[in-house]
A and B are shown apart, each in its own frame.
Chain A
Amino acid sequence: MKAADFDYSCAASIPEACRLLAGAHGEGRIIAGGQTLVPLLAMRLARPALLVDINRIADLRGIEFSDGAVTIKACTTQADALASDVVRKHVPLLAKALGHVGHSQTRNRGTIGGSLANADPVAEICMTALALDGEILSHGPKSQRTIPCSEFFRGAMTTALALDECLTAVRLPIWGHPGKAGSSFQEMSIRRSDFALVAAAVQAQFDEKGLCRHIAIVVGGCCPTPMRASAAANRLIGTNIEEPDLAEAARLLQETIAPRSDLHASADYRRRVAGELVMRAVRESRREAMGAD
């Protein structure tokens, strides 16, 4: 289908984008790469009166590493983030996740900020930002604010952003814990490059003896937003992550999620796969960390 009619403005600056949005009285939407929004327009699931294009705002592109964090500006394409040495070196979990995001044709247009702002329930970038305790930077007509990812994702395709607010960047803190780190992103989808049915993102830190000191586990496809698997993570901290620890952690995760059945997979299947993917991701993270010397 074709999108319904709308008006279009290309913003030259962030304040201009906010002004245009505010002038649309709630009927405006920002378009960045359009890889989520344009399908919604084509299917008429979204029908804004005005699209505000932020692609040509130079201030919204780039990846910076400073003050113990990697800051990725909103219109940085997923392809540029995937090719970034800074990302690979300092937030390797994101590089691994990006390999699962669509395919080269969508990554060349799709942006980091667009994925976060659209908050698809199985979006790999949203899962990673939550796992890494990321913060969303946004710009409103009158003020700027920082929103922790733990408070940003409110529901499927729903975030804490106001209608006249523009997401400008995501800040991903680099873990300062001592020890060896490893990470892994695991995903199950029907076809290569399809939406994930279930996905798991893990980053973990181990001491010299191989004891897990810090671990973040996030699952996608199990509820309307990316979800921290806190009980499973707590079960693994302080252990060597032997197979019984893993099985117990997976069981704790499976008890806390209530995935839905749909055309593609049943709730039971999703629950089983979530447990298995978390086990694989934790194993893989440990292998990467301990094999690094």
Chain B
Amino acid sequence: MSAHHVTLTVNGRTHTAQVSARLTLVDFLRDVLLLTGTHIGCEHGVCGACSILLNGKPVRSCLIFAVQADGMDVVTVEGLSPEPETLSILQDCFWETHALQCGFCTPGMLIAARALLAENPAPSEEQIREGIGGNLCRCTGYKPIVDAILLAAERMRRSNAGARDVGAD
């Protein structure tokens, strides 16, 4: 077993650890850093539950080994809210429109939506469906999720607080 030294920034905090090469980034986040907000679904890149932002871009954390992320910047679902015990505008909109039932896909959906809105503050419904196209949800039928992202986009555009929310990455 090969051990490797990695240093990476997660939600603004720098962490250093020894990892074995086979440890995926999502297992590192959950089992080493105890950030269990990021979920593991399929473990082979199909379901999107483990989506995170890596150097600002959405990726699957089950398809990258922790050792490969050395020196990189990670944002997980725990890093989306402006401060502990509060919700971001996007998360609030998910709550308001009932965009989750079991909640398993939600961290990945939030990351995908966050990445989409950072790039495109006024997405069409079609663009939203494309943006979350890599994330499976087995409860909602997607409609409330699309509604939540449309609502969040509108609120973020309207408020200065929204601009800060998008720019928080």
- CB-CB under 8 A from B67, the residues of chain A are 8, 10
- CB-CB under 8 A from A42, the residues of chain B are 43-44, 62
| Cβ of A34 under 8 Å from chain B | yes
Contact indicator per residue, chain B 5-40, by CB within 8 Å of chain A (1) or not (0)? 000000000000000111010010000000000000
Q: Chain B, interface size: which category?
A: 20 to 34
Least CB distance, A38 to chain B, in whole angstroms = 4
The stretch that binds B, out of A20-28, A85-93, A97-105, A259-267, is A97-105
Least CB distance, A193 to chain B, in whole angstroms = 5
| Cβ of B95 under 8 Å from chain A | no
| Residue from A4, A35, A43, A104 with most neighbouring chain B CB atoms (10 Å) | A104
Contact assessment for A106 and B134 in the assembled complex, using a CB-CB cutoff below 8 Å? yes
| Cβ of B57 under 8 Å from chain A | yes
- CB-CB under 8 A from B1, the residues of chain A are 5
| Number of residues of chain A lying within 8 A (CB) of chain B | 29
Main DSSP-derived SS at the B contact region: mixed
| Cβ of A55 under 8 Å from chain B | yes
* Cβ contact of B60, chosen from A3, A31, A109, A193, cutoff 8 A: A109
Contact assessment for B45 and A106 in the assembled complex, using a CB-CB cutoff below 8 Å? yes
Indicate whether A34 sits within 8 Å of B2 (C-beta atoms), given known contacts A42-B43, A108-B57: no
* Cβ contact of A34, chosen from B43, B48, B63, cutoff 8 A: B63
Q: A51 CA to B43 CA in the complex, in Å? A: 19
Closest chain A residue to B134, Cβ basis: A103
Indicate whether A105 sits within 8 Å of B68 (C-beta atoms), given known contacts A5-B1, A8-B4, A193-B133: no
* Cβ contact of A7, chosen from B21, B68, B129, cutoff 8 A: B21
Q: A106 CA to B46 CA in the complex, in Å? A: 10
Q: A106 CA to B58 CA in the complex, in Å? A: 8
Within 8 A of A (CB), among B55-70: 57-60, 62-65, 67-68
Contact assessment for A39 and B21 in the assembled complex, using a CB-CB cutoff below 8 Å? no
Indicate whether A38 sits within 8 Å of B57 (C-beta atoms), given known contacts A8-B4, A104-B115, A192-B129: no
Contact assessment for A193 and B134 in the assembled complex, using a CB-CB cutoff below 8 Å? yes
Contact indicator per residue, chain A 1-21, by CB within 8 Å of chain B (1) or not (0)? 111111110100000000000
- CB-CB under 8 A from B54, the residues of chain A are 108-109
Least CB distance, B18 to chain A, in whole angstroms = 13
Residues of chain A at the chain B interface (Cβ within 8 Å): 1-8, 10, 31, 34-35, 38-39, 42-43, 51, 53, 55, 79, 102-106, 108-109, 192-193
The 3 closest A-B pairs by CB, nearest first: A103-B134, A8-B21, A39-B44
